[in-house]
Structure 1
Amino acid sequence: MIKEIIKKLKNKSFLIAYSGGLDSTVLLHQLIEIKKITPDIKIRAIYINHNLTLLAKKWIKHCKKHCKIYQIPLTIKDIDIHQNKNKTEEQLRIKRYSIIYNHLLSEEILLTGHHMNDQCETFFLSLKRGSGPTGLSSMSFETILGNKTIIRPFLNKTKKELELWANRKNLKWIEDFSNFNINHDRNYIRHNIIPVLEKRWPFFLKNCFRTIKICRKETILLNDLLLEKIQNFIKFDNSLNIKSFQNIKKETCTAFIRRWIRLQTIKMPSYKNIECIYHQMILSRKDANPKIVLDENEIRRYKKSLYFIKTPPILNSTFLFWHKKNSKLILPNNLGNLTQDNQGMSLPKPRKNQLVNIRFQYEGKILILGRDKKRKIKKIWQEKNIPPWLRNQIPLLFYNNIFISALGVFIVNTKYTNKKTWKISWKNDLKSNNNKFLFY
């Protein structure tokens, strides 16, 4: 299988997720054997130390020894033990992949030792969560993350087949005894469920694997059809136009929502979460401001569209003093910087004794230039088409406690006057950090 992969791939550089266990040991040694015949391939290994066992140092020593024998460069990365104590299996897995992904070179392909037993365990975990066909598709043979590729060459091999190969080659590997702790869901399935099913039906694993492949094919077909249809609803800023969703069948709506979320390259929410999004976003009253939190991201509704955004930090209590006005003022949260230049917004200049400061929160009524009546700032944000989640990301300019301007949006008409003016430019990153909102 690995030989066939190498023949098909243009890239010949591989990073192995190496733990010293059976699966990754077989993977490493199969590549070493191939390298003897095909010397132009490059192999590196990476070991992630979770610091969850006293045996960790012994395992690292084992991995170092084997990589040294075969002259395989080995990278060892530690995960902070204090950050791990209350982590779930899934959270640790994400953390582990994140570290590996960040150490994967652009020309490399990541190889992992996942096999058919792992695949079927994942299938059962998806059943437990009440997943649909997408979740039941489990792991794919090849996964593209950004511009990087992960390949799992052993998915069609059982653990027993890997054990037979390892024993024929007299390989030594690590046995992680935490894998026998059935308090973990995956281990419970591995030791208490699958063996019972295999005893009753010897071909259960392979039949389970066949079901996974069917689910994957059906999912790919459905996603292709939905992708074609959903293009009619995705706007230039990547938001989802839901104007007509109340006139569409619920099943179709939820399918569109799932496909749109899938385009955001995050882990797919459960069907229960999709139902929640449908009821809160599509069926809630027009003046509602619903929000669905998905890990570090949010789905928000604004003016008959759904927006997928990275949850912004709260800046309500942030004060920045701009003492050196001839220098750039760097804003928090990757919001860019403020600078004086000829392209900026023209504003009355502060007096020498006034403290120029930036805030991100204001409540109450204000009078803006061009108006003859005060209005609540909330209404002005609405007029200017500023979504609620961006309102506390816009720098508000103050001289002492006098509100002068929401930079790039409006100027406040105050009693403060100064014939001298200056121009301030806000070079912001809001257009490129998943908010995708343009300021005019």
Structure 2
Amino acid sequence: MIEPALPVSTTGLVVAFSGGVDSTVLLHLAVQSRWPVRAVHVHHGLHENADRWADHCRRTGDRLGVSVDTRSISSINGDGEGLEAAARAERYRVLGDALQGDECLLTAHHADDQFETLLYRLLRGTGPSGMGGIQPRMPFGHGWLIRPLLATPRAQLEAHARANDLHWIDDPSNASLDHDRNYLRHRVIPSIEARWPRANAAAARLATHAREQCGLTDDLLRDRRQSAAAAINGPLAVADCASGDEPFDRAMLRMWIRDGGHRPPGARRLAVGRAALVNAARDRDPTMTGLDFAIRRHRGWLFRLPRPLPEVPVPVPVPSGADRASWGALGEVSWPPALGGPLWLRAPHPGERIALPGRRTRPIRELYRERGITPWWRDRLPALVDARDECLAVAGLGLTRSGVERAPQALAMGLEFTPSPSATGADWAWLSAPPQ
């Protein structure tokens, strides 16, 4: 049930584990596979029993021989359906951050969830891509998001749980008819299935047909992208969604957002956002926001970025003799060993000025702008300083005059920075715009 859905490059499985019956069955099936398995429980803090649920998940993991990593969400803004959507977006951000290279995140969505999702989207006036329903698999974070139970009815999962004496928790909020999805689940769908017993299977076929047609359309749109960045799913040239044919332009932008692993905004928000991105003056950098991502324009390109942007790391001391270090969650830094020590990594100070070899002293941000460094990286790239806080090198700019005086033989090496990919911003790792 699980292994046929996995990419051949899979290195391990990470189960999104809420403690409910669906994810409990998924975890039980995952431990029977041939892959290393671990679980992540997201502690939302939205329910009075959240701590008890986290303890239950840890105990279940112990019984199954699986480590359970509990990750807390600090704050979620919204109410009603908006709170539910915000919590879902934040949950996927946390789960994405937990993935390591080529791991597969498994979620326990099943056939009943698919039917419910399709009805809900239909009633909200979704477009063709929305009728594709829940996606069975997609690139996600550092690996993949896989939903191996999507063709399995909930009743079959409950029977598996009872047959294997599994224990789970029930979230009482799932019974509240105040939520639209719960109303569909408890009132509408039972009536439909009483009249049309195979409605669930028919909805699954509809979703498959819609995904196939949308996939063909997306392939045609990708072929129409003019920029070299298209080959590696990079930033989108503004010109690629500004042809003057509005349906085509909206479809291009929607496809590119999906290719980044995000859910596109609704039709109205997409149209308004695209117009703002395309029509703003050349010296402006407009932004369009989604639940877990933002699109910013810079130098004729659109970039999919995490929302909110990652925090700027605090200054960190460099161990004596080291020539590389982590720059918080943002990436890895390396520098010439000849610079010696002791050294520190820190972000540039506001208004800080440096002198590059053979040039006059200038503000770092001005030099970044000249080099084409994107605005959101300009206060996040690391600088290497000595014990007196003298700047020796800056990522993206190289050694300063002081750095060259300290290590003349290292002039050509500079400070190398390799950004870490983001689970919620496909173009986060681009430090500058692609060549035109």
TM-score for the superposition, normalised by structure 1: 0.66
What's the CA shift for 1:122? 2.3
1:114–1:152 Cα contact (<8 Å) kept:
yes
The structure-2 alpha-carbon separation of the partners of 1:13 and 1:336, relative to structure 1 and needing over 3 Å to count, comes to farther
Match of 2:42? Answer: 48
Q: What is the distance in 2 between the residues matched to 1:45 and 1:388?
A: 36
Unaligned runs of 5+ in 1: 314-326, 349-357, 362-380, 394-421
The structure-2 alpha-carbon separation of the partners of 1:337 and 1:203, relative to structure 1 and needing over 3 Å to count, comes to farther
Match of 1:66? Answer: 60
Offset from partner CA, 1:22-49 (integer Å, 9 cap, x none): 10111122234x25xxxx5322122222
1:96-107 aligned at under 5 Å gives the runs: 96-107=91-102
| AA at the equivalent of 1:297 | A
Q: What is the distance in 1 between the residues matched to 2:277 and 2:24?
A: 48
Match of 1:340? Answer: 355
Match of 1:163? Answer: 158
1:68-147 aligned at under 5 Å gives the runs: 68-80=62-74, 83=76, 86=79, 88-147=83-142
- Choose which of 195, 199, 202 in structure 1 pairs with 2:194: 199
- The secondary structure found in structure 2 opposite 1:155 is coil
The structure-2 alpha-carbon separation of the partners of 1:131 and 1:336, relative to structure 1 and needing over 3 Å to count, comes to farther
The structure-2 alpha-carbon separation of the partners of 1:291 and 1:129, relative to structure 1 and needing over 3 Å to count, comes to farther
Match of 2:237? Answer: 240
1:249-328 aligned at under 5 Å gives the runs: 249-277=245-273, 279-280=275-276, 291-295=286-290, 297-300=294-297, 305=300, 307-308=302-303, 310=305
Match of 1:17? Answer: 16
Q: What is the distance in 2 between the residues matched to 1:50 and 1:255?
A: 34
The structure-2 alpha-carbon separation of the partners of 1:243 and 1:211, relative to structure 1 and needing over 3 Å to count, comes to closer
1:384-403 aligned at under 5 Å gives the runs: none
Offset from partner CA, 1:119-176 (integer Å, 9 cap, x none): 2222233334433222221222112124311211100011112122222333322111
Match of 1:416? Answer: none
What's the CA shift for 1:244? 9.9
The structure-2 alpha-carbon separation of the partners of 1:341 and 1:139, relative to structure 1 and needing over 3 Å to count, comes to same
User: Which structure's relative contact order is higher, taking Cα pairs within 8 Å and 6+ residues apart?
Assistant: 2
The structure-2 alpha-carbon separation of the partners of 1:256 and 1:233, relative to structure 1 and needing over 3 Å to count, comes to farther
2:238–2:302 Cα contact (<8 Å) kept:
no
What's the CA shift for 1:277? 4.0
The structure-2 alpha-carbon separation of the partners of 1:424 and 1:125, relative to structure 1 and needing over 3 Å to count, comes to farther
- The secondary structure found in structure 1 opposite 2:355 is strand
Q: What is the distance in 1 between the residues matched to 2:4 and 2:230?
A: 42
- The secondary structure found in structure 2 opposite 1:242 is helix
Q: What is the distance in 2 between the residues matched to 1:11 and 1:230?
A: 30
The structure-2 alpha-carbon separation of the partners of 1:435 and 1:197, relative to structure 1 and needing over 3 Å to count, comes to farther
Instruction: Give the RMSD, CA atoms, in angstroms.
Output: 4.5
1:301–1:307 Cα contact (<8 Å) kept:
yes
Match of 1:182? Answer: 177
The structure-2 alpha-carbon separation of the partners of 1:167 and 1:85, relative to structure 1 and needing over 3 Å to count, comes to same
1:24–1:112 Cα contact (<8 Å) kept:
yes
What's the CA shift for 1:179? 0.8
What's the CA shift for 1:266? 3.4
- The secondary structure found in structure 2 opposite 1:221 is helix
Match of 1:26? Answer: 25
What's the CA shift for 1:223? 0.7
- The secondary structure found in structure 2 opposite 1:342 is coil
Q: What is the distance in 2 between the residues matched to 1:307 and 1:176?
A: 41
Q: What is the distance in 2 between the residues matched to 1:151 and 1:58?
A: 28
Structure with bigger gyration radius: 1
1:196-235 aligned at under 5 Å gives the runs: 196-231=191-226
Unaligned runs of 5+ in 2: 309-342, 380-400, 405-413, 420-426
The structure-2 alpha-carbon separation of the partners of 1:73 and 1:267, relative to structure 1 and needing over 3 Å to count, comes to same
Q: What is the distance in 1 between the residues matched to 2:307 and 2:107?
A: 34
1:15–1:45 Cα contact (<8 Å) kept:
yes
The structure-2 alpha-carbon separation of the partners of 1:359 and 1:128, relative to structure 1 and needing over 3 Å to count, comes to farther
What's the CA shift for 1:211? 0.6
The structure-2 alpha-carbon separation of the partners of 1:310 and 1:28, relative to structure 1 and needing over 3 Å to count, comes to closer
1:327-366 aligned at under 5 Å gives the runs: 338-343=353-358, 345-346=359-360
2:44–2:72 Cα contact (<8 Å) kept:
yes
